[in-house]
């Protein structure tokens, strides 16, 4: 499934829409997979709750979403996920 990322998406929606993000999320020490809070937490919420590096997580999510789409999706990413 493809589509556009937006900052209000829940972690659950991100993982469902772009399954390649699951490995990224786990690699960052987040246990969103199967978590009952994942449908309610955004990336901002997860970063704040787990005290992890926002810049690195967003960069890695951007890369996973791009891989998932099989194309360059930078045009579909908001500034918060776009490369600096």
Res. 25: pLDDT tops 70? yes
Residues in the chain: 84
Tokens of 73: 């999706």
CA distance 34 to 46: 14
Among 63, 79, 60, 14, CA closest to 2 = 14
Residue 35: is it exposed, middle or buried by C-beta count within 10 angstroms (0-12/13-18/19+)?
middle
In the chain, domain spans:
14-76
* pLDDT reported for residue 78: 54
* pLDDT reported for residue 5: 85
Task: Report, as an integer, the average pLDDT of 9-33.
Answer: 96
To the question of pTM greater than 0.75 for the whole model, the response is yes
- For the segment 26-73, what is each residue's pLDDT rounded down to a tens digit? 999 999 999 999 999 999 999 999 999 999 999 999 999 998 877 544
Higher pLDDT, 21 or 79: 21
CA distance 45 to 47: 5
């Amino acid at each position: 499934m493809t589509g556009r990322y937006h900052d209000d998406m829940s972690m659950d929606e991100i993982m469902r829409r772009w399954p390649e993000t699951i490995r990224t999320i786990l690699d960052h020490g987040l246990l969103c997979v199967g978590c009952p809070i994942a449908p309610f937490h955004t990336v901002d919420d997860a970063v704040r709750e787990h005290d992890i590096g926002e810049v690195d997580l967003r960069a890695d999510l951007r890369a996973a979403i791009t891989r998932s789409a099989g194309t360059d999706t930078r045009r579909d990413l908001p500034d918060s996920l776009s490369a600096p």
